[in-house]
Amino acid sequence: MTTLVKNGTVVTASDRYEADIFIDKGVVSLIGQGLNLPADEVVDASGKLVMPGGIDVHTHLDMPFGGTNSADDFETGTIAAAHGGTTTIIDFAIQNFGEGLYPAFEGWMKKAEGKAVIDYAFHMIVRELTDQVSHDMDKMARHEGVTSFKLFMAYPGVFQVDDATIFRALLKTKENGGLICMHAENGGVIDTLVKDALRKGHTAPKYHALTRPTRAEGEATGRAIALSEMAGVPIYIVHLSCSDALEKVKQARDQGLPAYAETCPQYLFLSYEDYERPGFEGAKYVMSPPLREKWNQDALWKGLAKNDLQVVSTDHCPFCMNEPPQKQLGQGDFSKIPNGAPGIETRLMLLWDGGVRAGHIDPHRFVEIVSTNPAKMFGLWPKKGTVAVGSDGDLVLFDADKRSVLSASTHHMRVDYNPYEGREVTGGPAVVLSRGEVIVDHGTLRGKPGRGQFVKRQGGRPLVP
Ligand code: URP
Ligand code: ZN
Ligand code: ZN
């Protein structure tokens, strides 16, 4: 199978030029001007920006959580991702208590097999660090291409681990070249505040945010970085939401420590006011960390522009409001609202419109934070994350003038609301290719479920400054 992409403007993290791209058996084999080779498919990219496909390193598909399962599985979730210009995801496989990492890894491989439309990889969530798990971390990193592990400093009884466990896991990555991804919120403080709020009869969704202060995220972020410094390894903070936590990352990086962090569109475009919506509507925005006061958004944009934040992922973890009633599990008790929100489809559109067009970042930084850095951070580069000879033919033909209105009535995510309902955005994918195959063509899905492949990742230090 060969594909020729003609007359596009290639935009990577570093370059911009007019070129044609020839893809042979899924891999870019030639980039040049005026290429006239015969190909099985010729795609016209005139007037489009040709960028590497988006890489979303934080998704939760088909995940048991909060007494239910996230609403998108690997079929619906990756179809939605593809429509939004994302061609690779890294999802989280969850270790079960009392087991090693292999049952979880195999379980998540089964969830994805025959369903995924785009390529996928896994991080492993570690809930307890037994000798078996410790041994499996090495095997995962060295043999399975699962080179990152998420630990939680919050959700006591479900995911939370103590500092000794975190420190031991960090030391493990020194040996096996893995990377620890940290959910940094102080679970003990939050748990106390939650119990106190419920005792006072404060049950509405907004109390989710009011019991998870920015200090609880800042403290945990600082502690996580300090632990990684003592272990002598890099650390990656996931879904960073506020200035308080960003300051800790900034301080560490100013000292030359290999501290990295991602934020997500919801923290750049939504805010605490969304919890004040009437009735139970605030439940749509119940996620952890919660949405913050609006002023934090400026700090996050600056963090992205100055490379104190290196990645924007989605933390896509959708739960329906009513059909089926998943968020409703928390009627009368905000602590029972399943935590998470949808976003796998809207990341590139939002970041182009609200990031590039709004003047916070330029198109090259856009490519860097949605594709190149995610690939370099998590061992996918240069196979993924750039447009180059030898890289996979994962491309987004991006129409900078395309106008869309984000809405549950038109999105492809299997969830009955869109957190950005009614928001108009300019800029979006016209054609999406995965390994040279057109998978989305002007809004029409062409990629078949099951074509997505598991990607084994490299270990080692992140290749991001
Ligand atoms: O609320 C969230 N973020 N749900 C997904 C689980 C997690 O902590 O990433
Ligand atoms: Zn988390
Ligand atoms: Zn998450």
pLDDT score for 75: 99
> Maximum Cα–Cα distance for the chain, whole Å?
72
Domain range list for the chain: 53-377
Residue 267 CB-half CA count within 13 A: 33
CA distance 293 to 275: 11
Give the residue-averaged pLDDT of 95-109.
Answer: 98
Q: Which residues contact 125 (CB under 8 A, 6 or more apart)?
A: 92, 93, 94, 95, 104, 149, 150, 151, 152, 159
Residue with CA nearest ligand 1 atom 9:
315
pLDDT score for 375: 98
Pocket residue to mutate for ligand 1, from 288, 314, 327, most atoms within 8 A of Cβ: 288
pLDDT score for 80: 99
Length of the chain: 465
53 — pLDDT class (breaks 50, 70, 90): very high
Q: Which residues pair with 28 in a beta bridge?
A: 23
CA distance 306 to 298: 12
pLDDT score for 140: 98
- Cα–ligand 1 centroid distance for 113 (angstroms): 23
Strands (E), 358-394: none
Looking at the chain, the whole-number percentage of residues with pLDDT higher than 70 is 100
64 — pLDDT class (breaks 50, 70, 90): very high
Statement: the pTM of the whole predicted model exceeds 0.75: yes
CA distance 425 to 3: 30
CATH architecture assignment, domain 53-377? Alpha-Beta Barrel (3.20)
- Cα–ligand 3 centroid distance for 288 (angstroms): 8
pLDDT digits (tens, 9 = 90+) for 164-177: 999 999 999 999 99
- Cα–ligand 2 centroid distance for 111 (angstroms): 20
CB 338 within 8 A of CB 414: no
- Cα–ligand 1 centroid distance for 159 (angstroms): 11
- Cα–ligand 2 centroid distance for 144 (angstroms): 23
187 CB-contact burial (10 Å; exposed 0-12 / middle 13-18 / buried 19+): buried
Give the residue-averaged pLDDT of 296-320.
Answer: 98
pLDDT digits (tens, 9 = 90+) for 380-419: 999 999 999 999 999 999 999 999 999 999 999 999 999 9
Nearest ligand 1 atom, CA 238: 9
pLDDT score for 82: 99
462 — pLDDT class (breaks 50, 70, 90): very high
Containing H/E element for 363? helix 363-367
Q: What is the DSSP letter of 313?
A: -
Q: Please report, for residues 90, 135, 289, 381, 426, the alpha-carbon distance to residue 456 in angstroms, rounded to integers and kept in the order given.
A: 11, 19, 29, 12, 35
Helix/strand/coil (H/E/C) assignment for every residue in 128-180: CCCHHHHHHHHHHHHHHCCCEEEEECCCCCCCECCHHHHHHHHHHHHHHCCEE
Residue with CA nearest ligand 1 atom 4:
340
Containing H/E element for 125? strand 119-125
CB 122 within 8 A of CB 146: yes
Pocket residue to mutate for ligand 1, from 339, 344, 415, most atoms within 8 A of Cβ: 339
**DSSP characters over 314-361:** --B----SSSS-SGGGGTT-GGGSPP-B--TTTHHHHHIIIIITTTSS
69 CB-contact burial (10 Å; exposed 0-12 / middle 13-18 / buried 19+): middle
pLDDT score for 407: 98
Residues with CB under 5 A from ligand 3 (ion): 315
pLDDT score for 157: 95
- Cα–ligand 1 centroid distance for 202 (angstroms): 22
Residue 93: what are its φ and ψ, rounded to 5°? Answer: -95, 135
186 — pLDDT class (breaks 50, 70, 90): very high
**DSSP characters over 253-292:** HHTT--EEEEE-HHHHH--GGGGGSSTTGGGGG--SSPP-
Helices 163-176 and 214-231 pack at an angle, to 10 degrees, of 50
pLDDT digits (tens, 9 = 90+) for 216-257: 999 999 999 999 999 999 999 999 999 999 999 999 999 999
Ligand nearest to the CA of 290: 1
CA distance 334 to 173: 36
CA distance 166 to 92: 18
pLDDT score for 313: 99
Residue with CA nearest ligand 1 atom 8:
288
Give the residue-averaged pLDDT of 289-297.
Answer: 98
Nearest ligand 1 atom, CA 152: 8
pLDDT digits (tens, 9 = 90+) for 111-146: 999 999 999 999 999 999 999 999 999 999 999 999
Residue with CA nearest ligand 1 atom 3:
288
Ligand nearest to the CA of 158: 1
Q: Average model confidence (pLDDT) for the chain?
A: 98
Residues with beta carbon inside 6 Å of ligand 1? Answer: 60, 183, 239, 287-288, 315, 317, 339-340
Nearest ligand 1 atom, CA 159: 8
261 — pLDDT class (breaks 50, 70, 90): very high
Nearest in space to 414 (alpha carbons), one of 38, 24, 77, 67:
77
Copy the structure tokens of residue 174.
């020194």
* Strand 179-183, strand 235-237: pairing: parallel
Residue with CA nearest ligand 1 atom 2:
340
- Cα–ligand 1 centroid distance for 149 (angstroms): 15
